[in-house]
Each structure stands twice: as C-alpha cells, then as structure tokens.
Structure 1
Amino acid sequence: MAETADRGGRTVLEALERGQVCKGVVSSIEQFGAFVDIGGFHGLVNGAELTWAHHFDAVSDIVEVGQEVTIVVLDVDIERERASFSLKALYPDPLEDFARVQFGRVIAGRVERVMRFGAFVQVHENFAGLVPIQELSERDADEPESIFRIGDEVMVEVVAINMHRRRILLSLRS
C-alpha cells in the first residue's frame, strides 16, 4: 500500500506506529486513493478513508497533489514496505451523531435514487437512507417510481440504523 524510495523512506516506515498522527504531502492520486509522502515514504490513503461523505466522484474532489494533509496511520507492514493511512479517522463519525440525535424522529430528506426495491433519501450531507418498497404497500404502489421522483422533498422516519454496515432504514411519512 506504499513504496519506499530509499533508505530514508525505510527509516520513516520503521518509525511509524498504528494510531500515530502525522503530517504529509499528497504525492499522487489514483482511482482507488491517494499516496501521501511522509519524509520520503509514500503511504496509501484508500478512497474509503478519505472522507466520511457518502459519495464523491473522484479522489481529486477530496485532495490534490501537493496538498499538505494530516493523517492517522492505520496499518504498517515492514516486510512488504507498506502502510495505510486515513484522513477521516481524525474526525468523529457523523453517523454516530446522526443516530444519537435523529433516531426515531421524522425528518425531511431529498430523494437521491429510485430503485425497484425502494428509494434512497438523502437525510444528511454525508449519507442517505433507504425507504424500502414494503413501506409503500399502504399507498397501493408496487412501483417506487410512481411515488418518488429524484429531487422530491419527503418526510421520513428514521426507524433503524446499522452502525457496522452504515445503513439507515427509513419509513415514509405523509
């Protein structure tokens, strides 16, 4: 998940520890993440570790080459000369705060996607929840497309949150 350019990079790698916070510079951007240079050692920030945001189009939407960043060391593999880093680990998980404040409440959201099994409704800037098709049965609708349009504002109840799988289950409210 990284590469060492020289002995200096190897020395930096050997000094890294899981959980350590470091400053570095984004050295390259790939589809799957960004490499960060810390004193000659280049470690990977996987795309999933860039931000808590639930969607972004490209790694370059989050970081750019030459940008100074602060990272948390997730893993170090001396034998393979690799290390993985995280940018988002520096910040609290917004889903935890959302769950604490919004669980069981009826809140406004915006329809993001409509699928055959239900609709995804954005209920926070960083995530969306699912209103499953079963929720539509009392509306005499088998087709979510007959109820939802992308961009519709809807009122939904937050009925379940799976923190581990990062899933939010919503119920449609009129």
Structure 2
Amino acid sequence: MIGGQPEYPELWAFLESLHCGELLSGTVTGVERFGVFVALDDGPDHPVFPGVGFITIPELSWRRFEAASDVVQVGQRVSCEFLQFDTWNLEARLSLRATGPDPFQAFANGIAVGQKLHGQITKLVPFGIFVQVADGIEGLVRLREPTRTSVETRSEVVQVGDEVTVVVTEIDRERRRLVLSRRQGSTDR
C-alpha cells in the first residue's frame, strides 16, 4: 500500500466487488502442482501471476486425481464459484468442483451400512485397500481387514484390478469417506 491506498486500485476494486458464491468464467492460464491460475473474463490482469483467479488442488474436482492437469489444461474455458478474496496474493480464490453436485453425497443417499457392493481394487496402500464401488466412488478396506495372512503376503492375495465383494461398514458424509469390509462380503479373492 502506498499512502493508505492499495497499490493496484483497479485489481482491489474488482476483487472487493465479488460476492461469495458468484459464478465467474475465465480461461486457465497456468497449471501448477499447487493449483491452477485463471484469467477471469471480467477481471483485470494480475501484476505477478498469470491470472487473477486461483483454484487450489482440493477445489478442482470431487473425484480423486493424480495431477491438476488430469482435470484442466491451459487454454481451457472454466466457470467457477467465487470463494473469497485472498488479500495477501491479491487473487480471487475459486472452486471448480462447487459448480457440480458431489457424487459421493448422491451415492451415499442410495446405500446403507450392511449393504453388499461389488467393486474393483484400485490401490494397495500400507493401511489398506481402496475399492472402486461406483464411478468416481472409492471406499477403504482397512489393513486389518483384507486377509488373515501377514502384511508381507497381502500383495499375493489381492492385486489392483481384482473384482471383490465388500460390505459397507461406515458412511461418513462430512469427510466423504466410505469404509468397507471384505470379511463380511464373501470368501472370494
């Protein structure tokens, strides 16, 4: 700030005029490991960043992804919901995922604890096995669940891509987590 006035008055005025929940359109100008820059249609240029809009990684998509470039590409047109004015970086924090329904909540409406589901193992991690039970919906079978054998031989018992039957043991809507059990599911692999 210079003399009590913002250094970039046009940018400040634009950002202060935005309202939480407002839909903004723009073009993706930068895809980084920490988030995505967006040049907003009605916004001024940013003095440092490639766009006055910024989407953090968690706000890109409801679905799990490996890299921001799996969701958006430079040059792509996007419509995002305005979340807040980041006064430190002078940017509009945006959410791309907020513009669509949360598939987990819709899925959770149609299932219940104790229900059997069929799915495919998508990932083996030190604490368990992730099983995709619907498009974009994965649940966790905790490590103590997968088999009666030791951790060292777990990869011999199940592999990524295996089809399994599981039972829903917990639905956490707030944290968007689905906990599953194979023990109660069936005796198949």
TM over 0.5: yes
Q: Distance in 2 between matches of 1:32 and 1:116?
A: 25
When Rg is computed on C-alpha atoms for both structures, the one with the higher figure is 2
Once the two structures are superposed, the pairs formed by residues 92-131 of structure 1 within 5 Å of their partners are 92-104=101-113, 105-131=115-141
1:141 aligns with 2:149: yes
Sequence identity of aligned pairs in percent? 36
Count of residues paired in the alignment: 167
Q: Which one of the candidate residues 7, 30, 33 is aligned to 2:32?
A: 30
Cα–Cα, structure 1 residues 31 and 140, in superposed 2: closer, same or farther, change >3 Å? closer
Q: Which one of the candidate residues 54, 74, 87 is aligned to 1:44?
A: 54
Cα–Cα, structure 1 residues 37 and 116, in superposed 2: closer, same or farther, change >3 Å? closer
1:66 aligns with 2:75: yes
1:166 aligns with 2:187: no
Q: How far off its partner does 1:79 sit?
A: 6.3
Q: Relative contact order (C-alpha < 8 Å, sep 6+): which is higher?
A: 1
1:57 aligns with 2:59: no
Q: Which one of the candidate residues 2, 9, 12 is aligned to 1:10?
A: 12
* Residue matched to 1:19: 21
Cα–Cα, structure 1 residues 59 and 118, in superposed 2: closer, same or farther, change >3 Å? closer
Cα–Cα, structure 1 residues 140 and 30, in superposed 2: closer, same or farther, change >3 Å? closer
Name the aligned partner's letter for residue 36 of structure 1.
V
Kindly report the root-mean-square deviation, in angstroms, between the aligned alpha carbons of the 2 structures. Answer: 2.2
Name the aligned partner's letter for residue 40 of structure 1.
P
Kindly indicate which of the two structures has a greater share of residues assigned to helix: 1
Name the aligned partner's letter for residue 28 of structure 1.
G
User: What TM-score, normalized to structure 2?
Assistant: 0.78
Q: Distance in 2 between matches of 1:82 and 1:112?
A: 37
Q: Deviations over 1:87-141 (max 9, x none)?
A: 00011111111111123321111111223432111123323211123334xx532
Q: How far off its partner does 1:159 sit?
A: 1.5
Kindly indicate which of the two structures has a greater share of residues assigned to strand: 1
Return 5+ residue gaps in structure 2 as ranges.
1-6, 46-51
Cα–Cα, structure 1 residues 117 and 50, in superposed 2: closer, same or farther, change >3 Å? closer
Return 5+ residue gaps in structure 1 as ranges.
none
User: What TM-score, normalized to structure 1?
Assistant: 0.84
